A = this chain, B = another copy of it.
Amino acid sequence: SSLSAGTGGLVLYDLTSSAPHNKEFSPHCVKTLMDLKLLDVGYDRQRLTFTQVRTDLAKRVGDNAATVPTLELSDGTHLQDSWLIANWLANHHPKGNALFPFPSSRPFAASLNAWGRSNFAAQLRSLTRPPIHDSLTGESKIYFEQVKVGKQKLEKMRAMTQAERDQQIQNCIVALEPIQDALAAVRESHNASAGSLSTVPLWLEGDQEPTHADFCVYGWYVHSRSTGPTITREIWHALPLVSQWVNALNAWAGNEITKDF
């Protein structure tokens, strides 16, 4: 079965804007990129447009509803959905435990994963969709406008006033309070244990390395980057610990990943 395959010979199918660009903006693909980096797993990275996902990848996976990220194992089976991929890596890679190091890491990461999708994204959406639409061409652009978002909704987003846009930015900052408070609690724990770690922890679970919990949130930071540097700064650098965390994760991810944001 696919679950007995190793982590050698992997292919990661990832989303990008229209060729020849290499823009990374999928919140979910970023989670998998970061998981693979944490575990230092090698893979062949295939960048696909929306159109290529719906044609080439759908054909390869044998599912018209194929999505990215898709991880192709060496035996030809496919894993879809960043959460399922993280669980597979956790269960099958020798160091997989690093993704979910503690007994409640899975529910913590799952709650952040759903927070991104159901709470934060609801506030962010109207700011990211117009610029993502701008970055696409051809069939991908038509699909994004007509199927994924809807022509009328996209036009409404484009027609927002500056005041409405500012309100959405404020809503995004409020929606980030769970992340700010989690990072503050990590520092409280660190201070209570009086320096059992040599340095103040930077990551959401307070460990020496980031974990899947961090990546579930970071995916939405990367997605936000499609709004450009000004709005990204307004949202992600308003709360001091979130700002520090973003900077630390950008450094951890390294230029090989961040050059595409």
Contact = CB atoms under 8 A, between A and B. Distances in A.
Interface of A: 87, 91, 100-115, 117-119, 122, 174-175, 177-186, 188-189, 192, 204-207, 213
Given A108-B104, A182-B107, A118 B177 contact: yes
Given A111-B108, A181-B110, A207-B103, A119 B175 contact: yes
Contacts of A204: 104, 107, 111
Contact of A205 (B104, B112, B117): B104
A186 B106 contact: yes
Contacts of A192: 87, 91
Nearest to A123: B119
Contacts of A180: 114
A102 B106 CA distance: 12
Summarize A's interface: helix, strand, loop or mixed: helix
A249 to B, nearest CB: 15
A118 B108 CA distance: 18
Given A103-B207, A104-B204, A107-B189, 14 more contacts: A104-B105, A104-B213, A106-B189, A107-B183, A107-B185, A110-B182, A111-B111, A111-B179, A111-B181, A114-B177, A114-B178, A114-B181, A115-B115, A118-B175
Given A181-B111, A181-B113, A104 B102 contact: yes
10 contacts: A87-B188, A103-B207, A104-B104, A104-B105, A104-B207, A106-B189, A109-B185, A112-B178, A115-B115, A122-B174
Given A115-B119, A192-B91, A107 B177 contact: no
A91 B207 CA distance: 20
A119 B178 CA distance: 9
Interface centre among A175, A177, A183 (most CB of B within 10 A): A177
A204 B108 CA distance: 9
A177 B117 contact: yes
A159 B205 CA distance: 44
Contacts of A178: 110-115, 118-119
A180 B119 CA distance: 13
A202 to B, nearest CB: 12
B111 A182 contact: yes
